[in-house]
Structure formats: C-alpha cells, structure tokens
C-alpha cells in the first residue's frame, strides 16, 4: 500500500513548553513530573521513549491536560506510526483485521445463532438510503444489542465491516497511513450510496468522520454526520420514542477513550438517556476527563506481542475495581468495543456487576424484553475462545503489515474451525472455566508489562 500525503502537523511542537503536565496528570500512567518532562522531550526529539510508547493506553486524556492545547496524543500516534512502518503490527492483531483470514468476525460466525446471522446478513445486504445507521464493527459481534428493536425503524441499518469503525481502532494504535486509506474508502462509499445522513452507532466513528478524516487525513465527507445518542435524545424528547418503564437501576458509567475527544462533547448524552430511563447515576473515582481505559487501548502500546492480552486484562481489572467500589448495580458503556471487552473481563475476573450498552438501557425503558444476561455470557466465552486461539497462533506468526482494507463486496464465510469448536466445547464445562480463570489470574501479574517508574 503506497503512503499518501496527510496532515502530519497536528502536534504543536513550537508551542509546547515541554512542561510534562500531560503525562504527569495521565490517569493511567501518572508519571513523576521529572520523568514526564523527559518523556515529552524524548518523543519530540525522536529519542527512545522509556515509558509512553510501551505503556500508553490511548485514552486521550493527555490532550485534555495540556495547558496550551498542543495535542500530545497525536505526537504519540506519529511515533507509533513510525514503529509500525519498521516492525509491522503484532501477529495477534490479525483477529481485528476484517480483510484478513480468520478474523474475529469470520470466526464468530461458527458460534452465532441463525437468528443473529439473519440480522447481520440483512444489515449487510440492505441498500443504503436516506438516514443510515452504521452498525459498528464491535456491535456486529453482539447483534442482540439491537436485535429487532423498534429503534431500528428510524434508520436503514448498514453493516460495513471494511470501514474499520472509520479507522477508529487503527488510529488509536498509530496506523495513520492505513487510516488515510480507510477515510478515502468511506468517502467513496458515501458518494456511491448517495446517502443524505450518516448516523454512526459509535461516538468514535462520529469523531473519525467529522474530525480526524477532514482535519488530519484531508478527507471530507459531503453527507451530514449526526451523533447517534443526540438523535435518540431528540426523539425521546419529542415523544417519538416512548419511555414506558422506570428502570430504577443504580448505574455507574464507563466513559470510553473516544468520549474525551473534542473536549468531552460525548459525555452528556448517555447520562441524559440514563436520566430518561430513571436510573440513578453514581460516578466512578475516575470519570469523564479522568476515565480509565476499559483495557482495549492497552494493546496499542505493545513491546512484546505475548504480553498484549495480559496488559489488556490488567488494565480492565482496574476498571472493574473502580466500578464495583461505587456500589452500583450495573456499569453502562456506550461503546461496542468496550462492551465486548468488559464482558470478557467480567467472566475472567468473576465480577458480579451487570454491564449494559446504552442501547440496551433505552430498549428496556421502552418496554422491550432482553435475553439478559445469558446472551452476553455466552458471547463472552465465544470471544474468549477466539482470543485464546489467536494468542496461541500468534506464537507461530510474525508481525505483518496491513496491505488490504476492502472486502471488495465479498461476504464473510465461516470455516470449519474444528480446533476452535473443540476449545469452545471445553469452555462450556464449568470446572474448565473455573480452572482457566484461576490460571489466568495467577499468570496475569507475571505476564503483564512492568510499569515501575
């Protein structure tokens, strides 16, 4: 894939005073100020980074903490982009590349019900028209979140896997040149579809389409792009979406990494939707600008590929400890990627706190009945199985470069995956689950990348 020009002047090096506040105040790293100053200086000068490039969870907070808005987060992404050009992506990343064989979406088809597959096939086959709802890649893994909800009557649901969430999760890993190509594909598709309005189900995609694509990649979109949660609020306030049931849940909120983009423009809408559902909100110690990562972002700062899964889970464990400390009945997320990772973590760590997507909260308040939590628990073990399969396979694979972004109209087909099916059968045995989680928790501190400063 040939690299095309993009705007590389996002980080304002000339205004940066190298004060180190961005990394010192980081809720994940909390570097001593002296070390933080050394790190920002090393990143600017292109010297070796001791901590940031191998420990950052891509949570966006550093941009909010910079006193003069220099955007240090984008500096980190540029340095990661340079690393990607040299060393490629870690082998386990293959499972989140929809254009590569044995990706998570393809493999999960082995475990999906016929009903789930019918929803996905419908979303993929529909002709885009009018107002389209972009079903996010990670909600594709959990199609029962939307199910046949009445919410889908207001849109034409479209499942576009090779939009890669607008390049959102690759952007967080610093794969900037690849994101440039994804942005161009999104623009071509929107023009071909002649859609009037695009409503991404994920805030991250909204941010990519409205900010990263035009201002960092030089790719603008002619169609209107509207925030999904704001649209839901408008329809609820207008009485178009009826709220029939008071849930009376005590809920704590997981603010995902992309919610911090744009100075927190995505924080209020999910909280207002909870208010409409008569939920009592109890905030975690770290929330909004200080929110901790669900764990997913910890995979971006890999140094040794074998540590990736353990780094992710160690980060996720901190999130659960904070959520449980609130005494909440449930934790709500408004990100599909966070949702599937949090459910996998919940099963591994044996947490009892319920986890909902904001769409599920709205659906319940509309009076719709969910098959909860059975669907989530089953899917968590489906995904744990696939992740373990890829973790094992990554031991025999080398880093790679993403050279294809389009599915070119091809439909994902599930293979036989006999080994995967056998592994999943084992995980259905209660004692196997208990032994696996115990062993994983014992290995966790030994396999997590050390973070002493």
User: What per-residue confidence (pLDDT) applies to 5?
Assistant: 62
Instruction: With respect to residue 4, please indicate whether it lies within any of the assigned structural domains.
Output: no
Beta bridge partners of residue 158, listed in sequence order: 134
Pick the range with the lowest mean pLDDT from 3-17, 225-239, 282-296, 309-323: 3-17
d(C-alpha 241, C-alpha 327), whole Å: 30
Nearest to 193 by CA among 203, 185, 205, 201: 185
Q: Distance between CA 163 and CA 171 in Å, rounded?
A: 12
Q: Please report the pLDDT score of residue 2 as a whole number.
A: 40
Per-residue pLDDT tens digits for 383-399? 999 999 999 999 999 99
Question: Which of 398, 304, 346, 394 has its CA nearest to residue 92?
Answer: 394
- pLDDT of 3: 44
Per the CB < 8 A criterion, the answer to whether 207 and 183 are in contact is no
- β-bridge partners, 330: 251, 354
State the pLDDT at residue 264: 84
Q: How confident is the model at residue 450 (pLDDT cuts 50, 70, 90)?
A: confident
Residue 56 is assigned to a structural domain of this protein: no
Predicted local distance difference test score (pLDDT) of residue 291: 97
Residues 333 and 294 sit within 8 Å (Cβ to Cβ):
yes
**Residue 20 forms part of a structural domain:** no
Separation between Cα atoms, residue 262 and residue 280, nearest integer Å: 26
339 has pLDDT over 50: yes
- Write down the pLDDT at residue 41: 97
Report yes or no on 300 lying in a domain: yes
| Cα separations in angstroms, 212 against 91, 311, 389 | 26, 27, 33
Is the residue at 311 inside a domain?
yes
pLDDT recorded at residue 453: 67
Helix or strand or coil: residue 47?
Answer: coil
Split into its structural domains, the chain has a count of 1
Supply the DSSP string of 258-314, one letter for each residue.
Answer: GGGGGGTTTSHHHHHHHHHTTPEE---SS-GGGPPP-SGGGGGG-SSGGGHHHHHHH
Catalogue the E-assigned strands of 370-423: none
Render pLDDT for 39-54 as a digit per residue (tens, 0 to 9).
999 999 999 999 999 9
Share of the chain above pLDDT 90, in %: 91
Domain containing 395 equals 91-447
Residue 320 inside a domain? The answer is: yes
Task: Give the H/E segment covering residue 348.
Answer: helix 336-349
The mean pLDDT value for 83-95 works out to 95
Band the pLDDT of 313: cuts 50, 70, 90. very high
> Is 4 a residue whose pLDDT tops 80?
no
Indicate whether 36 pLDDT > 60: yes
pLDDT tens, 259-280? 999 888 999 999 999 999 999 9
The pLDDT of residue 411: 66
1, pLDDT greater than 60? no
Calpha distance 114→14 (Å, rounded): 57
Residue 63 within a domain: no
Q: DSSP 3-state assignment of 441?
A: helix
Strands 330-333 and 280-281: unpaired
Name the percent of the chain lying above pLDDT 70.
97
Three-state DSSP state, 333: strand
Does a structural domain hold residue 166? yes
Summarised one tens digit per residue, pLDDT across range 424-448 is 999 999 999 999 999 999 999 999 9
């Amino acid at each position: 894939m040939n690299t095309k020009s993009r705007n590389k002047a996002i980080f304002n090096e000339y205004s940066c005073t190298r004060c180190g506040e961005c990394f010192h105040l980081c809720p994940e790293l909390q570097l001593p100020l002296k070390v933080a100053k050394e790190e920002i200086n090393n990143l600017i000068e292109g010297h070796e980074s001791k901590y940031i490039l191998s420990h950052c969870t891509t949570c966006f907070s550093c941009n909010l903490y910079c006193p003069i808005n220099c955007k240090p987060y984008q500096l980190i992404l540029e340095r990661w982009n340079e690393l990607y050009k040299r060393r490629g992506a870690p082998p386990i990343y293959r499972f989140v590349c929809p254009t590569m064989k044995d990706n998570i979406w393809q493999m999960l088809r082995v475990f999906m019900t016929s009903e789930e597959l019918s929803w996905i096939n419908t979303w993929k086959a529909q002709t885009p028209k009018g107002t389209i709802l972009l079903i996010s890649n990670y909600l594709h893994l959990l199609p029962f979140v939307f199910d046949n909800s009445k919410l889908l009557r207001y849109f034409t649901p479209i499942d576009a896997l090779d939009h890669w969430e607008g390049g959102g999760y690759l952007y967080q890993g610093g794969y900037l040149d690849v994101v440039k190509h994804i942005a161009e594909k999104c623009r071509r598709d929107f023009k071909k579809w002649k859609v009037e309005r695009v409503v991404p189900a994920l805030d991250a995609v909204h941010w990519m389409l409205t900010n990263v694509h035009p201002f960092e990649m030089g790719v603008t979109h002619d169609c209107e792009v509207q925030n999904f949660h704001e649209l839901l609020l408008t329809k609820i306030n207008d009485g178009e979406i009826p709220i029939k049931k008071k849930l009376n849940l005590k809920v704590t909120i997981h603010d995902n990494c992309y919610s911090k983009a744009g100075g927190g423009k995505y924080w209020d809408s999910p909280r207002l939707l909870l208010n409409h559902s008569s939920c009592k909100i109890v905030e975690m110690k770290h929330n909004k600008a200080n929110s901790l990562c669900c764990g997913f972002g910890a995979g971006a700062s890999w140094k040794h590929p074998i540590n990736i899964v353990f780094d992710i889970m160690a980060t996720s464990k901190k999130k659960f400890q904070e959520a449980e400390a609130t005494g909440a009945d449930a934790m709500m997320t408004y990100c599909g990627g966070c949702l599937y990772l949090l459910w996998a973590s919940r099963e591994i760590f044996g947490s009892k706190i319920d986890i909902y997507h904001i769409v599920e909260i709205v659906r319940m308040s509309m009076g719709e009945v969910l098959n909860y939590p059975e669907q989530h628990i089953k899917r968590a073990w489906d995904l744990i199985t696939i992740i373990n399969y890829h973790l094992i396979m990554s031991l025999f694979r080398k880093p790679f470069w993403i050279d294809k972004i389009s599915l070119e109209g091809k439909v994902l087909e599930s293979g036989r995956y006999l080994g995967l099916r056998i592994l999943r059968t084992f995980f259905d045995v209660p004692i196997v689950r208990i032994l696996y989680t115990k062993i994983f928790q014992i290995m966790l501190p030994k396999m997590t990348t050390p973070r002493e400063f």
